[in-house]
């Protein structure tokens, strides 16, 4: 009897676990669906600085929380800018390592110094899924920004973080980021191509690629 009860209980537990897993999956995909993609006009709008006194406002703080949740819901996203979820503000979230999921926020970021040395990397963008492009960037940058508590910071970034920051800053200007530009021109690399030939592949022309 107890054995049978135990079996029933573990079956119920398994069922509940599956239900909850699916609920979390739906919750994550709802968050991801907030990301504006491809030719959404908001991606082409200019973004504005936030006044220092507004940083601790609930509107700004809620925007940060939402951006953090959306970025965390993605599997591989390393950065998300506010316009990507329809907010035309100069804010971006950075998550250099999706496995660690440590997200930091940058408000009104401005590059104040950059190295002469450049680096080349393959970039993707959450707003242009499955499209990759080789982009040349400054190797090191120094930026000035406010953190989420409203403290002014000046910090130097290099390598991967420097690339992500330069990419996110592009989202604040008129026009698409480099990845969006490449998508418009039909000159990009697809994920399949990267997996097959490694990340050294040069840009290639694929006008046949369909919009999602």
Interface region with Zn ion, contact rule CB under 5 A, candidates 114-122, 139-147, 175-183, 191-199: 175-183
Nearest approach in angstroms of CB 128 to Zn ion is: 7
How many residues contact Zn ion, by CB under 5 A?
2
Q: CB 90 → Zn ion: shortest distance, Å?
A: 14
Q: Report the alpha-carbon distance of residue 18 to residue 209 in Å, rounded.
A: 36
Residues in 71-110 that interact with Zn ion by CB under 5 A: none
Q: Does 143 bind Zn ion (CB under 5 A)?
A: no
If the CB atoms of residues 64 and 80 are measured against Zn ion, the closer one turns out to be 80
Span of 44-52, 58-66, 105-113, 123-131 interacting with Zn ion by CB under 5 A? 123-131
Asked if 189 is part of the footprint of Zn ion (rule: CB under 5 A), the reply reads no
| Residue at shortest CB range from Zn ion | 125
* Catalytic residue flag (residue 168): yes
Please check whether residue 148 is in contact with residue 107, taking contact to mean a CB–CB distance below 8 angstroms. Answer: yes
Please pick, among 168, 170, 181, 191, the residue that the annotation labels catalytic. Answer: 168
125 binds Zn ion (CB under 5 A): yes
Instruction: Pick the closest to residue 193 from 209, 179, 180 (CA basis).
Output: 209
Nearest distance in Å: CB 183, Zn ion: 11
Site residues for Zn ion per CB under 5 A = 125, 177
């Amino acid at each position: 009897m107890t054995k049978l009860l135990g079996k029933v209980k573990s079956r119920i537990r398994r069922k509940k676990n599956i239900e909850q897993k699916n609920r979390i999956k739906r919750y994550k995909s709802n968050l991801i669906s907030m990301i504006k993609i491809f030719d959404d006009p908001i991606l082409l709008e200019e973004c504005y600085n936030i006044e220092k006194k507004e940083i601790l406002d609930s509107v700004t703080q809620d925007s940060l929380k939402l951006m953090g949740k959306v970025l965390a819901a993605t599997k591989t996203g390393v950065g998300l800018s506010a316009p990507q979820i329809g907010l035309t503000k100069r804010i971006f979230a950075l998550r250099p390592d999706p496995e660690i999921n440590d997200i930091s926020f940058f408000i009104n970021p401005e590059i104040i110094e950059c190295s002469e040395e450049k680096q080349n990397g393959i970039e993707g963008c959450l707003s242009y899924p499955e499209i990759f492009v080789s982009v040349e960037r400054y190797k090191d940058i120094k930026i000035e920004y406010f953190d989420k508590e409203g403290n002014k910071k000046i910090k130097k970034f290099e390598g991967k973080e420097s690339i992500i920051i330069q990419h996110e800053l592009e989202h604040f200007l008129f026009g698409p980021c480099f990845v969006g530009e490449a998508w418009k021109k039909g000159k990009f690399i697809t994920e399949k191509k990267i997996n097959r030939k490694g990340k050294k592949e040069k840009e290639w022309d694929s006008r046949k690629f369909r919009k999602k």
